[in-house]
């Protein structure tokens, strides 16, 4: 499974979105990333609320596979849907129109 939701085993992890520590026992979202030092993947940890805003598609995927009780599931799903609606189009996220485009088209 590429992304996980689990309870924090210790309080050493820091949320990659807000840079605040994640308390021991708190539910957190792990975004799978390649590990340069091992064949096993690593994880970037986020608070669930931070992941809903910063990584909405990946969190929605993890929420679909998370079977345990999650008291704020509906709130998180609402936040992910709102965040997905605000994202720019995926086609060319860094493209912009040249100011000379109208000159070249003639």
CA-to-CA distance for 35 and 102, rounded, in angstroms?
46
CA-to-CA distance for 64 and 18, rounded, in angstroms?
24
Does position 103 have pLDDT exceeding 60, yes or no?
A: no
Q: What are phi and psi of 84, to 5 degrees?
A: -65, -30
Q: What pLDDT was estimated at residue 25?
A: 94
The pLDDT tens digits of the residues spanning 31-73 come to: 999 988 988 889 999 999 999 999 999 999 999 999 888 888 9
Q: Where are the alpha helices (DSSP H) in 1-106?
A: 48-54, 56-65, 73-86, 101-104
Q: What pLDDT was estimated at residue 104?
A: 52
């Amino acid at each position: 499974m590429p992304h996980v939701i689990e309870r924090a085993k210790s309080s050493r992890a820091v949320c990659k979105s807000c840079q605040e520590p994640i308390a021991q026992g708190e539910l957190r979202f792990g975004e799978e990333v390649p590990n340069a030092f091992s064949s096993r993947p690593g994880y970037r940890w986020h608070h669930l609320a931070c992941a809903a805003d910063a990584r909405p598609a990946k969190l929605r995927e993890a929420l679909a596979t998370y079977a345990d009780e999650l008291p704020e599931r509906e709130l998180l799903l609402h936040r992910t849907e709102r965040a997905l609606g605000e994202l720019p189009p995926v086609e060319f996220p860094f493209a912009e129109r040249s100011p000379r485009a109208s000159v070249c088209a003639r």
